[in-house]
Amino acid sequence: MKTTDYLQLDSKTTEKVAHELQTLLADLQVYYANLRGFHWNVKGQEFFNLHAKYEEMYDDAADKVDQVAERILMLGGVPEHNYSEYLKKSAIKETGVVSDGKEIANLLLSYLKELIGQERKILETASEGNDEGTANLMSDMILEQEKMVWMLTAYLS
């Protein structure tokens, strides 16, 4: 007995969506690790605000990681859990120590661009397969991340 036996979704589309979710999972895990580094290493006059903001962001990223991994399981896949695999698949690359708030904001914008692009791809594939669960998950993530893009661009202005 499998979850997918009850979801009434096309198996080929479900496999494709689960595969694309694996890439998103890898992206989110590297994004999360980078956020932790930014939280630990940020310096300067805005330290207190940025330190707290990066913690909020990595907590949110951890929640998204869990949601994506659970969705992969619901669709019959097995979520990757090795960083070596994440690093192979992720469009987001590890960073070294970065402590400047503006440099971090620019990096975050590039990461969010990658995440939103991958989420839009998944949204399209899921929508084509009438996979409302995955489509809604991606829509919610995109909406939150678009707001973060707006906030980061305002910060850099």
- Examine residue 4 and state whether it is found in any structural domain, yes or no: no
Helix (H, G, I), strand (E, B) or coil at 4: helix
- Examine residue 104 and state whether it is found in any structural domain, yes or no: yes
pLDDT in tens, 41-97: 999 999 999 999 999 999 999 999 999 999 999 999 999 999 999 999 999 999 999
DSSP tag of 96: -
- Examine residue 5 and state whether it is found in any structural domain, yes or no: no
For range 17-30, the mean pLDDT: 98
User: Looking up tokens 């589309």, which residue turns up?
Assistant: 13
Q: What is the pLDDT of residue 10?
A: 86
pLDDT surpasses 90 at 4: no
pLDDT surpasses 90 at 11: no
Domain that residue 99 falls in: 10-156
CATH code of residue 122: 1.20.1260.10
- Examine residue 31 and state whether it is found in any structural domain, yes or no: yes
pLDDT in tens, 95-120: 999 999 999 999 999 999 999 999 99
Q: What is the pLDDT of residue 1?
A: 65
Residues 6 or more apart whose CB falls under 8 angstroms from that of 99 comprise 41, 42, 43, 44
Question: For the purposes of burial, counting CB atoms within 10 Å of the CB of 21, is it exposed (0-12), middle (13-18) or buried (19 or more)?
Answer: buried
Domain total for the chain? 1
